[in-house]
Amino acid sequence: MAVQVLKDKCKGCTKCVKSCPFEAITMEGRLAVIGTACTGCGQCVEVCPFGAIEKTEEESSAKDLSAYHGVWVFAEQRDGKLMQVAIELLGEGKKLAEAVGCELCAVLCGSNVDGLADELFEYGADKVYYADAPELAHYTTDGYTKTIYEAISQYKPEIVLLGATHIGRDLGPCLAVKCNTGLTADCTKLEIDPETKGIKQTRPAFGGNLMATIVCPNHRPQMSTVRPGVMEKAQRVPGRKGELIRLNVSFKEGDIRTKILEVVKSAKEMVSLTDAEVIVSGGMGLGKPEGFELLKQLADKFHGTIASSRAAVDAGWIDHAYQVGQTGTTVKPKIYFACGISGAIQHVAGMQNSGLIVAINTNENAPIFDIADIGIVGDLYKVIPAIMEEMDKLPEK
Ligand code: FAD
Ligand code: SF4
Ligand code: SF4
């Protein structure tokens, strides 16, 4: 929805200027002019005493929604390896595609990564749109946006899902702006409205204190970034086949404004919380940064990894890459140890779907015990060594 000023009716009273919450209206002489900041909220329409502002349908809206078909998943890969979140999106995309009654497709960009298409078919993609070019070997905002935007314009998917990774969070908004559509970032739940067949996108809002469900009724594609580690991974069906569609990709001078000189992997990037089967997480109850050394000993026994609450990160005890929660990573390990973590809603949002939650806390009323499968009231510096001692008594496997 947009609005326009009817020149012959506007009397220049300026009432609409004051009414606009987005400061989108200016006066040119005695004529109100709607600027690009207009969100189409319609408030000014009601305010004008002369009926000089009316609502209009935007060109791209409602009328051609029916031209859009299929659920697309951005198959993010790095160094020729599919990111886990891409497999999670295929799992979720399958459910959405079944509810809509359409195909599940993946869009893959890279250089010489044809082999990944077979993997995507095995994980449930009916079609893979594949853009192969040396310029796409490493992610660049311009290169990937141009390629995928052109594919969206040509094939018109109705839903596009991306992982809320660093790349997805960069690419998603750029694509949404170019497609003149909306984007719901950081979704934790997606479902299809049985009546409209549109997607309902749910994400935490107001510091995680409420969940907001967002729809995109008038524009296509409907786009979401989805938190890694939240959705169930797709089941792999070896030998499953699909249709490979090669996209025409060409770049001219200036299309890609950044140049990758070198890719340097920092230690931070190597922390893979989403892949870990056992996580031993620590919070302020550790009392000091050195407490993580004890957690590491327990994690090593399970071949797992350590993690932390945000308070421990804010205290400078550990890097943000280890943070679990709403503003950190969402994890779903088989076992999650919460050691000296109170269980604030923002932390719980990132680990509540773990298989088995073991909480160790001195305060028997700590909220973490509400979601723990095993709750141990006690000092972690006594409880963890006791657990390790018992483990050492077990026969070697
Ligand atoms: P505390 O709340 O201080 O809890 C420490 C716990 O340790 C207590 O329960 C105490 O009883 C226990 N304890 C003390 N000594 C011992 C001992 N010796 N042995 C065992 N137990 C002991 N938090 C996150 O974790 N992740 C997020 O992503 C996140 N995002 C946020 C986003 C927003 C917008 C906001 C507002 C907050 C966010 N937070 C997040 C912060 C969150 O609200 C909490 O402040 C934080 O999780 C608390 O960390 P904690 O449990 O380590 O510390
Ligand atoms: Fe013109 Fe109506 Fe705005 Fe007054 S309120 S300036 S008449 S558009
Ligand atoms: Fe401002 Fe809303 Fe009117 Fe647009 S529709 S000019 S945003 S009041």
Distance separating alpha carbons of residues 370 and 97, to the nearest angstrom: 35
Distance separating alpha carbons of residues 179 and 227, to the nearest angstrom: 22
Indicate which residue's Cα is closest to atom 18 of ligand 1: 379
Q: Which atom of ligand 2 is nearest to the CA of 17?
A: 3
Q: What is the CATH number of domain 273-393?
A: 3.40.50.1220
Q: Which range, 195-209, 265-279, 328-342, is most confident?
A: 328-342
Q: Which atom of ligand 2 is nearest to the CA of 25?
A: 3
Q: Average the pLDDT over 286-310 and give the result.
A: 96
Q: Is the pLDDT of residue 196 over 70?
A: yes
Tell me whether strands 127-132 and 104-110 are parallel, antiparallel or unpaired: parallel
Q: Average the pLDDT over 356-383 and give the result.
A: 98
Q: Is the pLDDT of residue 61 over 50?
A: no
Q: Do the domains spanning 67-246 and 273-393 agree at the CATH topology level?
A: yes
Q: Is the pLDDT of residue 63 over 50?
A: no
Quickly state the pLDDT bin for 181 (edges 50, 70, 90): very high
Quote the pLDDT of residue 207: 66
Q: What is the DSSP letter of 327?
A: T
Quote the pLDDT of residue 274: 82
Quote the pLDDT of residue 271: 64
Q: Which atom of ligand 3 is nearest to the CA of 35?
A: 6
What pTM was computed for the model? 0.67
| CB proximity list for 198: less than 8 A, separation 6 or greater | 192, 215, 216, 217, 222
Q: Extract the tokens encoding 19.
A: 């009414």
Indicate which residue's Cα is closest to atom 3 of ligand 3: 44
Contact 292, 318 (CB under 8 A): yes
Distance separating alpha carbons of residues 271 and 322, to the nearest angstrom: 7
**Of the residues 327, 368, 387, which should be mutated to test ligand 1's pocket, given the most ligand atoms within 8 Å of the CB?**
327
Contact 17, 25 (CB under 8 A): yes
Distance 348 CA to ligand 1 centre (A): 10
Q: Which atom of ligand 3 is nearest to the CA of 47?
A: 8
Distance separating alpha carbons of residues 342 and 331, to the nearest angstrom: 17
Q: Average the pLDDT over 11-37 and give the result.
A: 91
Q: Average the pLDDT over 288-302 and give the result.
A: 96
Q: What is the CATH number of domain 67-246?
A: 3.40.50.620
Dihedral angle sign, alpha carbons of residues 162, 124, 122, 148: negative
Contact 143, 135 (CB under 8 A): yes
**Does ligand 3 come within 6 angstroms of the Cβ of 286?**
no
The CA-atom distances, in angstroms, between 185 and each of 105, 146, 189, 242 are: 20, 20, 11, 29
Quote the pLDDT of residue 397: 60
Quote the pLDDT of residue 60: 43
More confident residue, 395 or 235: 235
CA angle in degrees (0–180, nearest 5) for 232-235-239? 155
Q: Which atom of ligand 3 is nearest to the CA of 37?
A: 7
**Does ligand 3 come within 6 angstroms of the Cβ of 43?**
yes
Q: E-assigned strands of 188-327?
A: 189-192, 199-205, 210-214, 222-226, 243-246, 278-282, 305-308
Q: Which atom of ligand 2 is nearest to the CA of 51?
A: 2
Q: Average the pLDDT over 218-233 and give the result.
A: 91
Q: Extract the tokens encoding 332.
A: 């779903």
Q: Extract the tokens encoding 287.
A: 């009392």
Distance 218 CA to ligand 3 centre (A): 17
pLDDT digits (tens, 9 = 90+) for 40-56: 888 999 999 999 999 88
More confident residue, 273 or 104: 104
Q: Is the pLDDT of residue 230 over 70?
A: yes
Indicate which residue's Cα is closest to atom 1 of ligand 3: 20
**Does ligand 3 come within 6 angstroms of the Cβ of 367?**
no
| CATH number of this structure's domain 2-56, picked from the four choices 3.40.50.12500, 3.30.70.20, 3.20.20.140, 3.40.640.10 | 3.30.70.20
**Of the residues 294, 310, 326, 351, which should be mutated to test ligand 1's pocket, given the most ligand atoms within 8 Å of the CB?**
310
Q: Is the pLDDT of residue 220 over 50?
A: yes
Q: Is the pLDDT of residue 164 over 50?
A: yes
**Does ligand 1 come within 6 angstroms of the Cβ of 380?**
yes
Distance 218 CA to ligand 2 centre (A): 27
pLDDT digits (tens, 9 = 90+) for 103-138: 999 999 999 999 999 999 999 999 999 999 999 999
Q: Average the pLDDT over 362-379 and give the result.
A: 97
Where do the structural domains in the chain lie, given as residue ranges?
2-56, 67-246, 273-393
Indicate which residue's Cα is closest to atom 4 of ligand 2: 13
Contact 220, 156 (CB under 8 A): yes
* Residue 317 burial (C-beta neighbours within 10 Å; 0-12, 13-18, 19+): buried
**Of the residues 326, 352, 360, which should be mutated to test ligand 1's pocket, given the most ligand atoms within 8 Å of the CB?**
326
